[in-house]
Chains A and B, each alone.
Chain A
Amino acid sequence: MIDVNVYLHRWPFRRLPADEPEKLVAKLRAAGVTQAWCGSFETLLHRDVAGVNSRLASDCRKFGSGLLEPFGTVNPVLPDWPDDLRRCLETHGMRGVRLHPNYHGYKLDDPRCSELLAAAAEQKLLVQITAMMEDERTQHPLVQVPHVDASPLVAQLQQHGDLRVVLLNGFRNAKVDVVDKLAATRRCWFDIASKEGVAGVESLVKQVGYDRVLFGSHAPLFLHESAQLKLKESPLAGMQLAAIARGNAEELWK
């Protein structure tokens, strides 16, 4: 199983039962995860993202070699961000980056964001965009961060022909027509961590097609069991299940 939505380090607002890397890795392995795409909670509020990306890369190697794959962040609002992108690729050998436009204070139609997406596409880097970290109603009263509006992503995908995007936690504030348009580009994928409703994965598969859907847990902030049980809650054909749990992510990883 490939989990495309995992975080290392400390969630800023509480300790989590599995926020020690050894424990997280043990949990993932016990669940049958063979590869986990990993960002860092530190990227949300830290401004020295180059330092965070370094720690992320080395912790992935140290605690989960062969399992944890680091997805560093790039914040196009920061001075000299292209060097962060370069380091992700050249220094750390990362295959993708994870963006947090809401915590970093830019919209997806910001010209700086377009530049970043163009550069990532040119380097064949996979781009993950986390639309939401937690329910807007429970955010710390002094840190109210609106969810990412994914609508401008449709134009970005149309404009940058090589761009491939995974929208993480995209369903808390998803507009049905935006999800449809993103899916129609054939270069946007969705993870199941924030998909709610009974048999939600089944409805998602009906909406966007099983080849757009990826297994993602948002662990350790969300319980990993949630994503696992969602696969059981929806009646999926063997081929669909294999694609969601692994095959679609494998294709993206190539």
Chain B
Amino acid sequence: MIWDLHCHLTGVPGRTPTERMGQLIEIADRLGIERLCFYMGMGFLKEPTPEELVEQNDQVLEALAHYHDRAFGFCYVSGDHVEVSLAEIERCVARGPMVGIKLWVAHRCNDPVIDPIILRAAELKAVIYQHTWLKTDGTMFAGESTPMDVVELAKRHPRTPLILGHTGGQWELGIRAVRPYANVSIDIAGSDPTAGLVEMAVRELGAERVIYGSDSGGRSFASQIAKVAGAEISEREKRLIYKENLKRMLTPICKAKGIAI
């Protein structure tokens, strides 16, 4: 069975979060995906205003309402709006059903201004997901983090588990960058199904630090599962990547909230 670290309410038709969720779950079922983590709302907002952050989180909360047994929610936060982000963490994670936070491309994560967000999330044992995409074609966003930015974050919070989104895009660099920082795991979602990614990650980091995710609906579940399914690694390593590592990271917060997993 598979747990998917990285899903969005996009890429499928549907007027409401619930409608879209229903479709995504139906497609996920065809490939044996048991649980899915969702973050951000019905559209992609790169630099959300405080109001938009709240709205995006509301959409995920709505989507979760009927699918508590299948889906987890991560709270969308932004280094541009630290106070609002902290309030959203209280609302959605501390008092609500969400189990993680997602930082995207509004503000680079090497800036210590985001530290209160990381500290509060860590207190709550929420899973911390930081998007990164190191691009060679000059199309990086101003607030987009690199794997090296995550390294700075990891050095400031050496005991806090962190996830390097997209393995940094250029995964050969991303894997090398975080290699010495045992508190950083990698998300293999949202890149082409390039052969060798998972083998290198397992070789350099160990399978315990590698987590399957898709970045669906924009990505195909199939193309992302293939990265693990076709990798030349052991069945035990595949099980860790497909599910066990994410489950291990989610267990403390789920236990604290009384969510059965």
Task: State in angstroms the CA–CA spacing of A195 and B135 once bound together.
Answer: 21
Task: State in angstroms the CA–CA spacing of A75 and B81 once bound together.
Answer: 53
Chain A residues positioned under 8 Å from B217 (CB to CB): 197-198
In residues 119-169 of chain B, which contact A (Cβ within 8 Å)? 133, 135-137, 139, 169
Task: State in angstroms the CA–CA spacing of A232 and B30 once bound together.
Answer: 7
> Which residue in chain B gives the minimum CB-CB distance to A140?
B136
Report A189-226 CB contacts with B as 1/0, cut-off 8 Å.
00000111111100000000000000000011111111
Q: Do B223 and A230 touch (CB < 8 A)?
A: yes
B229 within 8 A of A: yes
**Nearest chain A CB to B210 CB, angstrom units:** 15
Task: State in angstroms the CA–CA spacing of A135 and B226 once bound together.
Answer: 17
A16 within 8 A of B: yes
Q: Do A135 and B223 touch (CB < 8 A)?
A: no
Q: Assuming the A-B contacts A144-B136, A233-B30, are A17 and B223 also in contact, with contact meaning beta carbons closer than 8 angstroms in the complex?
A: no
Number of interface residues of A (CB under 8 A): 35
> Which residue in chain A gives the minimum CB-CB distance to B12?
A198
A79 within 8 A of B: no
Residue of A136, A197, A222 near B194 (CB, 8 A) is A222
> How many residue pairs, one in A and one in B, have C-beta atoms under 8 Å apart?
112
Q: Do A233 and B221 touch (CB < 8 A)?
A: yes
Report whether over half of chain A's contact residues are helix, strand or loop; otherwise say mixed: loop
Report B158-198 CB contacts with A as 1/0, cut-off 8 Å.
00000000000110100000000000000000011111100
Q: Do B222 and A229 touch (CB < 8 A)?
A: yes
Q: Assuming the A-B contacts A16-B195, A222-B192, are A137 and B223 also in contact, with contact meaning beta carbons closer than 8 angstroms in the complex?
A: no
Chain A residues positioned under 8 Å from B133 (CB to CB): 137
Task: State in angstroms the CA–CA spacing of A172 and B172 once bound together.
Answer: 21
B27 within 8 A of A: yes
B65 within 8 A of A: no
> Which residue in chain B gives the minimum CB-CB distance to A197?
B11
B24 within 8 A of A: yes
Task: State in angstroms the CA–CA spacing of A14 and B172 once bound together.
Answer: 10
B227 within 8 A of A: yes
Task: State in angstroms the CA–CA spacing of A195 and B229 once bound together.
Answer: 19
Report B222-256 CB contacts with A as 1/0, cut-off 8 Å.
11011101111000000000000000000000000
Residue of A137, A200, A222, A232 near B31 (CB, 8 A) is A232
Number of interface residues of B (CB under 8 A): 36
Q: Do A139 and B192 touch (CB < 8 A)?
A: no
B218 within 8 A of A: yes
B58 within 8 A of A: no
Q: Do A137 and B136 touch (CB < 8 A)?
A: yes
Q: Do A138 and B222 touch (CB < 8 A)?
A: no
> Which residue in chain A gives the minimum CB-CB distance to B172?
A14
Chain B residues positioned under 8 Å from A17 (CB to CB): 195-196, 199, 231-232
Q: Assuming the A-B contacts A223-B226, A223-B229, A229-B225, are A135 and B192 also in contact, with contact meaning beta carbons closer than 8 angstroms in the complex?
A: yes
Task: State in angstroms the CA–CA spacing of A10 and B230 once bound together.
Answer: 19
**Nearest chain A CB to B20 CB, angstrom units:** 10
Q: Do B195 and A135 touch (CB < 8 A)?
A: no
> Which residue in chain B gives the minimum CB-CB distance to A220?
B195
Chain B residues positioned under 8 Å from A138 (CB to CB): 135-136, 169-170, 191
Residue of A137, A196, A220 near B137 (CB, 8 A) is A137
Chain B residues positioned under 8 Å from A235 (CB to CB): 30
Name the residue in A144, A196, A198 with the highest tally of chain B Cβ atoms < 10 Å from its Cβ.
A198
**Nearest chain A CB to B199 CB, angstrom units:** 6
Chain B residues positioned under 8 Å from A16 (CB to CB): 195-196
Q: Do B136 and A225 touch (CB < 8 A)?
A: no
Task: State in angstroms the CA–CA spacing of A135 and B134 once bound together.
Answer: 12
Task: State in angstroms the CA–CA spacing of A132 and B229 once bound together.
Answer: 24
A175 within 8 A of B: no
Q: Do B222 and A233 touch (CB < 8 A)?
A: yes
B216 within 8 A of A: yes
Q: Do A232 and B196 touch (CB < 8 A)?
A: no
In residues 47-101 of chain B, which contact A (Cβ within 8 Å)? none
> Which residue in chain B gives the minimum CB-CB distance to A219?
B195
> Which residue in chain A gives the minimum CB-CB distance to B24?
A198
In residues 1-28 of chain A, which contact B (Cβ within 8 Å)? 14-18
Can you report 18 A-B residue pairs in the complex whose CB atoms are below 8 A from each other? A17-B196, A137-B135, A137-B169, A138-B136, A138-B170, A144-B136, A195-B220, A196-B223, A198-B27, A199-B220, A200-B220, A222-B192, A222-B194, A223-B194, A226-B193, A229-B226, A230-B220, A233-B221
**Which A residues contact B (CB, under 8 angstroms)?**
14-18, 134-141, 144, 194-200, 219-226, 228-230, 232-233, 235
7 A-B pairs closest in CB distance: A229-B222, A226-B226, A223-B230, A225-B226, A225-B230, A226-B193, A137-B135
